[in-house]
Amino acid sequence: MAKRMKAKEDQKIIKLAILAVGGQGGGVLTNWITDVAERNGYLAQATSVAGVAQRTGATIYYVEMCPDTGRRPVFSLAPAQGDIDILIAAELMEAGRAVMRGFVTPDRTTLIASAHRIAAVSEKVEPGDGRADSPTVHRNAREAASRYICFDMEKVAVEAGSVISSSLFGALAGSGALPFPRESYEKTIEASGRGVKASLAAFGRAYDLTVSGARVEEGRPDAAPASKQITVDGPQRLVARWNALAARAEAYPEPVRSMALAGLRKVVDYQDLAYGAEYLDRLDKALAADSAEKSYALGEAAAKHVANAMCYDDILRVADLKTRTARAERIRTEMKVGEANVLQVTEFFHPRVEEFCGTLPARLGRFIENRPGLAHWVDRRINRGRRIRTDSLFGFGALWLIGTLRPWRRSLLRHQVEEAHLERWYALALDTAQRDYALAVEILNCRRLIKGYSDTHVRAHSKFDRVLSGLPLLEGRDDAADWLRRLREAALKDEKGELLDGALKTVETLKAA
Amino acid sequence: MAERSFVKEVQKLRLGAGETFHGEGILAITKALLQCGVGYVGGYQGAPISHLMDVLADAQDILGELGVHFEASASEATATAMLAASVHYPIRGACTFKSAVGLNVASDALANLASGGVTGGALIIVGEDYGEGSSIMQERSHPFAMKSQVWLLDPRPNLPSIVKAVEDGFELSEVSNTPVMLMVRIRSCHVTGSFETKDNKRPEMTVADALENPRRDTNRIVLPPASFLHEKEKVEKRMPAAVDFIRSRQINEFFGPERGKAGIILQGGMYNSVIRALQRIGLADVYGETDVPLYVLNAVYPLIDDEVIDFCEDKESVLIVEEGQPNYLEQAIASMMHKKGVDTRILGKDILPMAGEYTGQVMLDGISAYLRANAPELLAAQVLAPNAPGENTLAADLAKVVPGRPPGFCTGCPERPIFAATKLIEQELGPHHISSDIGCHLFSIMPPFELGATTMGYGLGPASASAFNSPDAKRRSISFVGDGGFWHNGLTSSIGNAVFNENDGVIVVVDNFYSAATGGQDILSSRADNPTKSTKHPITDAVKGMGVKWVRHIDRTYDVTKVRAALREALTTKEKGPKVIVASSECMLNRQRREKPLTAKAISGGERVVKPRFGVDEDVCTGDHACMRLSGCPSLSVKKLDDPLRDDPVASIDHTCVGCGNCGEVADAAVLCPSFYRADVVHNPGWWDRFTDRVRRGVTGFLQSRREKRRLTFADA
């Protein structure tokens, strides 16, 4: 029998798959695509998998089409690896998944992906930064696809008051991957009958961006920004003193300079100018042990983490931040509150005796804390959830009054506890710097572990202590800094610190070896 | 009200002779039922045939006009038992459900129905939930047909074939006095296409006619000695009648050349995938013209021995394409060859994988391998010796980066706070044995909650904890069951069992007002008014009626503190017997669908409307993500700040937030942090709103500017 390559002589079937996250409206886009195909004299078949899989999980829609010749073609019901002409990913990691599953091949696949991210649960639950690495996806997608069209289509849609189906549809039209004119796509949207104007706007914008070859920026989107210009407003006298402090920070070598300016702004905003001077004094100590050939890593780490340590999260800070004009304005913008609307804001507080004592003068606070019976009695009166309406006079007033305590912060119990902790940690780092510079930098970086409020804060402190408990075992080793970094990274991976425990055990065996 | 409305589409069911239907598989099936003069239909929802139930529910007017009775059955067993109406009466009846789970539940009724046999055509449409997107154990419906001896149709997945299968199915059922199962695979249900329609037919006998003229025949009832006769009748009469019908009506199809060295026998449902593989290796064209002989089994049980043997006899080898395991077809065909002394090699699961979905790649690899080994002369050089495809090297790189994305609770889901409370009570009282059930609430087993050890079947959550009832233990078991499972089977098998056996465990009934996971169909305890069904039957009443003494009802699941308190009390009370907590809040997906248009209308109509949404103060948030470990809400995510001092991303709530309240409640109950706030935007505020707002903003503005004038204020330039 003669060997035949029938597929070549025949009509070609165009295969298009959509990978989306459940709830993104992939069904709407699928219907539009079959509609536009039929408008252009094509036969089209769409399939999807309905059911619980669509509840926020990754999901696939699949369309096949070919010109209508009067005969019924045999379409497949599911996408196959290496056999996709157009792949639309409604989110960046879904583009990565498409490549992983072999749906994107350099010989034929046009990959249209939205660059925005919808974080998966696994990315959110890490105590540290669990977000997936977008540049890896871009790199692989570009390599895998015949054409890679990628920009933030979610943003395009939201800005037009529409949803992502419209901008994806626009990018598909703009790509020219389907042999259909733009007008037929627009007719499809018009025929759908809902939110037509906004859909067309998003469609048009995405179409133009695709035609003009818009690309997602190459670099890490969240690389440390160049030092920002800031404006300062306030009484002349204070501004003058600020300028003097800022000049001190300006004199530091980069990269300490930009970090120190950010840190200085934070501590002055947190407390006052004297606190800013204290901050710079502390920083000077680190810089004394630093040098250009070490690229000022110690100074930079100190500039970052000393500022964070000095601005511990207490009730005064929260009350202050929640009663500022800038905050009220931010909420109004974020929630799109117009002048015709009224905004009501409810805050969720749950104070305990610990926070109460921390806000008392140090001696009084200690007096209560040292008497468990008394502390318990106080706790029973305080410890419950409080919802405070900061748009009401009473709620706002209460927080505003707490904010007035700021000048006395240095005399409060919490400040003394925090300052003692800071001094111990900083001294340890500076002392270590004499013997092992890199290790000292890592000790400073461990400050990143301390965050959260109440129980979370206590757990964070315990992790910080456990990580530093590895120090005696590590000191003197060439790779001590590397190990401390590993311990810290392990601690940031899970809530309970099971990975950290494992890493600490490994460190113990190092000593034995 | 179901998640998806078919009110507009069901008008297509009115199409008459010679018109063309365009639409989805499920609608085509419904139209086919009406064309066949069906007298009654019913079923139980579940993917992939949930929408078939929704179509039927939305088509009740049309069904009513034709005198067709529609039943939203309580379970798959109920649906199958309903087909008893076709035992003595010549009425055509059909039911539908998801399988293999549905057949598991229905098998008692199915076996009884199959034993006595039917007079009117009885069709069971099973949605085979197998492969990608499936939410159940991976099993086949095939053996149910074999063991009860009912016939199984597996038509090619296109609308004309599926419609024809419905028509053939009824006839086959009637000529062989046997119920017929029609299998539709997960993607066939939603495949779009077209077919030429016929006029709808009124049933020749309606259920009303039957009620007016009752009949009985002791020989059709399953009790000895009739049951012994039934077994013989199956083998001696019904099976031969079915075989004759399938052969004479050419239900199975042959494609490609009549003769050849190699051929393929396949399930009808696999036809498109097989053709696609042949297209890709150059042995078939777009329209399915193939160079390889194909024998397509649109009826997979029973097999037509002489057709099979005739197809195989002249070939050196035949490949059986049969998805799922065990390989019943392959075994049966191999056995036929052996008995007839035909030496054709029967290949199947030795070339194709034993388990797992037959995806495009699997079919391409399997069929290419088969032809390379058994009919190489058919193949072009490049297929004969393909370039080594090589590993997908990019996959390895990406596997480290791309996170898994399993399904989870929707934005604002009322079940989330129940599991947040459970996680918190475990932090307080230690871990417990937790039994899960079927439904959206099973997402609790995934991060961030990771609660639940087993799932044993619909409504069987508490039943699966029944062994854990020991006076020697200081801890109690916790089990979950949804409202869907509760009414399906849970009330008797789980609650009744716990009462009778004096089980001391804690049972949480997750009540979200719908059968939510299957698409929001109404059930007994739904709060909605349903024009044709009786709703608003409280679960608490049913539980008390069963004899439970300790019952707590939580009418707002978002109150995490209250849910936790109820759990604490249930786990620690001295009281004996089951402790039942009914936690009720409406499924957010359905609530939004119901409320959104009303809210939009109210706002544009000038009514005062308060719209809540949550936010995070990013400078107060420290980025420890404790809130997300108690939530997993899609609208609560992480965001990198443009601040060099901050290493870790902070919490952020996007515009999809529906203001359910979980974030605030959890922050309070777990004593997390004061970063969350709820912003209530009042649309069309009244004069009092506006007045108080002016006063408040006047005073707060004064206080703010007073403080800000005396301090330094920083802003980004």
* Pair A344, A453 in one domain: no
CB distance B21 to B195 below 8 Å: yes
Structure tokens given for B610: 């308060």
Give the pLDDT of residue A417.
96
- Residue to mutate among A61, A348, A400, with most B CBs inside 10 A, is A348
Closest CA to B182 of B191, B196, B199, B170: B170
Q: Do A121 and B410 touch (CB under 8 A)?
A: no
pLDDT value of residue A1? 39
Q: Average pLDDT for residues B188-200, to the nearest whole number?
A: 92
Give the pLDDT score at A219. Answer: 45
pLDDT in tens, B459-484: 999 999 999 999 899 999 999 999 99
**Whole-number pLDDT of residue A510:** 83
Question: Cα(first)–Cα(last) distance of chain A, in Å?
Answer: 72
Distance from CA of A511 to the nearest CA of B (A): 31
- What are the backbone angles phi and psi of residue B379, rounded to the nearest 5°? -95, 145
Min Cα separation B206/chain A (Å): 34
Domain presence at residue A6: no
Nearest residue in B to A233, CA atom: B713
Q: What is the DSSP letter of A12?
A: P
- Of B636, B692, B671, B562, nearest to A395 by C-alpha is B692
Residue A128 lies in a domain: yes
Q: Compare CB distances from A49 to B133, B288, B684 and report the shortest one's residue.
A: B133
pLDDT at A56: 75
Residue A84 has a pLDDT of 97
Q: Put residue B114 in one of left, alpha, beta given phi > 0 → left and psi -120 to 50 → alpha.
A: alpha
pLDDT at position A3 over 60? no
pTM over 0.90: yes
Q: Do B490 and B498 form a contact (C-beta atoms < 8 A)?
A: no
Residues in chain B within 8 Å Cβ distance of A7: 279-280, 282, 284-286
In one-letter notation, the amino acid at residue B20 is T
Show residues of chain B in contact with A307, CB under 8 Å.
645
pLDDT > 90? residue A99:
yes
Write out chain B residues lying below 8 Å of A222, CB-based.
640
The set of long-range contacts for B594-598, using a CB threshold of 8 Å and a minimum separation of 24, is B594/B1
Same domain, A241 and A180: no
Minimum-distance CB partner of A57 among B360, B407, B712: B407
| pLDDT at A5 exceeding the cut of 80 | no
Q: What share of chain B in percent tops pLDDT 90?
A: 92
What range does the domain containing A439 cover? 419-512
pLDDT of residue A224: 47
Residues A157 and A278 in one domain: no
C-alpha pair distances (Å), A270 with each of A248, A263, B106, B674, B711: 19, 10, 68, 17, 11
CATH assignment of the domain containing A68: 3.40.920.10
- Specify the 3-state DSSP secondary structure of A109: coil
CB A109 within 8 A of CB A87: yes
Report helix, strand or coil for B255: strand
A368 domain residue, yes or no: yes
Query: Where do the DSSP E strands lie in B272-367?
Result: 294-297, 299-301, 317-321, 345-347
Give me the phi and psi of A479, to 5 degrees please.
-100, 25
Cβ contacts of B273 on chain A, cutoff 8 Å: 76-78
Residue A279 domain-assigned (yes or no):
yes
Measured distance CA(A2)–CA(A24) in Å, rounded = 49
Of all residues in chain B, the percent with pLDDT exceeding 70 is 99
Can you give the pLDDT at residue B1?
Answer: 58
Domains and CATH numbers, chain B: 9-248 (3.40.50.970), 253-384 (3.40.50.920), 416-590 (3.40.50.970), 608-689 (3.30.70)
Terminal CA-CA length for chain B:
53
The tokens for B343 are 């030496």
The Cα–Cα gap between A354 and B222 comes to: 73
**What are the helix and strand counts (H, E) for chain A?**
25, 9
Chosen for mutation from B438, B712, B713 (greatest number of chain A CBs closer than 10 Å) is B712
Which of A131, A137, A344 lies closest to B649 in CB terms? A131
The span from the CA of A257 to the CA of A269, in Å, is 18
Q: Measuring CA to CA, how many Å separate A221 from each of A117, A224, A468, B218?
A: 12, 9, 32, 78
Q: What is the mean pLDDT of residues A143-163?
A: 95
Banded pLDDT at B300 (limits 50, 70, 90)? very high
Between CA A135 and CA A151 the distance in angstroms is 13
Cβ–Cβ gap A456/B672 under 8 Å: yes
DSSP state, B440?
G
8 Å CB contact between B605 and B635: no
Q: Select the residue of B655, B689, B717 nearest A342 (Cβ to Cβ).
A: B689
CA-CA distance, B716 to B495, in Å (whole number)? 62
Question: Omega into B100 within 30° of 0, i.e. cis?
Answer: yes
Q: Is B266 helix (H, G, I), strand (E, B) or coil?
A: strand
Asked if B714 lies within 8 A of A273 by C-beta distance, the reply is no
User: What pLDDT is stored for residue B391 in this prediction?
Assistant: 63
Task: From residue A501, give the alpha-carbon distance in Å to each of A447, A487, A488, A493.
Answer: 19, 9, 11, 12
Indicate whether A329 and A430 sit together in one domain: no
Same domain, A304 and A363: no
A283 and A407 inside one domain = no
- One-letter amino acid for residue B241 of the chain: A
Q: Is the pLDDT of residue A7 over 50?
A: no
pLDDT in tens, A51-82: 555 677 888 999 999 999 989 999 999 999 99
Share of chain A above pLDDT 70, in %: 94
Q: Give CA–CA dist B40/B112, Å, rounded.
A: 19
Please give the full DSSP string across A200-264, using - where no structure is assigned.
HHHHHHHHHHHHTT----SS-TTSPPPPPPEEEES-HHHHHHHHHHHHHHHTSPTTHHHHHHHHH
Residue B227: half-sphere exposure toward Cβ, Cα within 13 Å: 7
Q: Are residues A401 and A428 located together in one domain of the fold? A: no
Residues A326 and A401 in one domain: yes
**Residue at A495 is within a domain:** yes
pLDDT, tens digit, 9 for 90 and up, residues B356-381? 999 999 999 999 999 999 999 999 88
Report, as an integer, the average pLDDT of B260-278: 97
The pLDDT assigned to A51 comes to 58
Let me know how long chain B is. 717
Number of helices and strands in chain B (H, E): 25, 25
Q: What is the mean pLDDT of residues A433-438?
A: 96
- Whether the ipTM is more than 0.85: the answer is yes
- Evaluate whether B320 touches B289 at the Cβ level (below 8 Å): no
Which chain A positions have a beta carbon within 8 Å of B279's beta carbon?
Answer: 6-7, 74
Is the pLDDT at A398 greater than 90? The verdict is yes
Percent of chain A at pLDDT above 90?
Answer: 85
User: Looking at residue A4, what is its pLDDT?
Assistant: 46
* Whole-number Å distance between alpha carbons of B698 and B702: 6
Residue ending a domain, choose from A362, A388, A414:
A414
**Considering A414, A449, A473, which residue would you say is the last residue of a domain?**
A414
Closest CA to A96 of A138, A57, A59: A138
Is residue A496 very low, low, confident or very high in pLDDT (cuts 50, 70, 90)? confident
Q: Is residue A165 classed as helix, strand or coil in its secondary structure?
A: helix
Q: Is the pLDDT of residue B103 over 70?
A: yes
At residue A430, what is the residue type?
A: L
Q: Nearest 5 degrees, angle CA B318-CA B321-CA B327?
A: 100
- Round to whole Å and give the CA distance between A113 and A304: 36
* B185 chain-A contacts, CB cut-off 8 A: 77
Does residue A391 or residue A510 have the better pLDDT?
Answer: A391
> According to the 3-state scheme, what is the secondary structure of B164-218?
HHHHHHHHHHHHHCCCEEEEEECCHHHCEEEEECCCCCCCCCCHHHHHHCCCCCH
CA angle, A23 then A29 then A34, to 5°: 140
- For B679, the token pair is 């912003």
By CA distance, what is A404's nearest residue in B?
Answer: B707
> Same structural domain for residues A402 and A449?
no
The tokens describing B592, both together, are: 């939004």
Judged against a pLDDT cut of 80, whether residue A220 lies above it is answered with: no
Please compute Rg for chain B using Cα positions: 30
Residue type, B84: A
pLDDT confidence band for B430 (50 / 70 / 90):
very high
| Average pLDDT over every residue of A466-481 | 93
Residue A226 has pLDDT above 60, yes or no: no
The helix (H) or strand (E) run that includes residue B616 is strand B609-616
* d(C-alpha B391, C-alpha B520), whole Å: 43
Q: How far is Cα B468 from Cα B503, in angstroms, rounded to an integer?
A: 8
Nearest chain B Cα distance for residue A81, angstroms: 6
CB spacing of B648 vs A128 below 8 angstroms: yes
Domains: count for chain A? 4
A233 pLDDT higher than 80? yes
Instruction: Encode pLDDT of A440-472 as tens digits.
Output: 999 999 999 999 898 889 999 999 999 999 999
Report the range out of A1-10, B5-14, B239-248 with the highest average pLDDT. Answer: B239-248
- Statement to judge: residues A31 and A167 lie in one domain: yes
Give the residue from A251, A279, A310 where a domain finishes. Answer: A310
- Maximum Cα–Cα distance across chain A: 100
My answer on whether A142 and A30 are in the same domain is: yes
Tell me which chain B residues have a C-beta less than 8 angstroms from the C-beta of A47: 187, 190-192
- Among the ranges given (A128-132, A219-223, A473-477, B382-386), the one the predictor scored with the smallest mean pLDDT: A219-223
pLDDT at A52: 56
In a domain, A352, yes or no: yes
Q: Which residue reads 């000895």 in tokens?
A: B224
User: Is residue A258 situated within a structural domain?
Assistant: yes
- Selected residue of B195, B671, B682, B691 to mutate for chain A interface (largest A Cβ count, 10 A): B671
Confidence of residue A10 (pLDDT cuts 50, 70, 90): low
Chain A residues whose CB is inside 8 A of the B716 CB are 228-231
pLDDT over 80 at A243, yes or no: yes
Q: Give the number of other Cβ atoms within 10 Å of residue B541's Cβ.
A: 11
| Residue B431: CB atoms within 10 Å | 9
Report if residue A16 sits inside a domain: yes
Same domain, A244 and A268: yes
B55 to chain A nearest CA, in Å?
15
pLDDT band at B64 (very low <50, low <70, confident <90, very high): very high
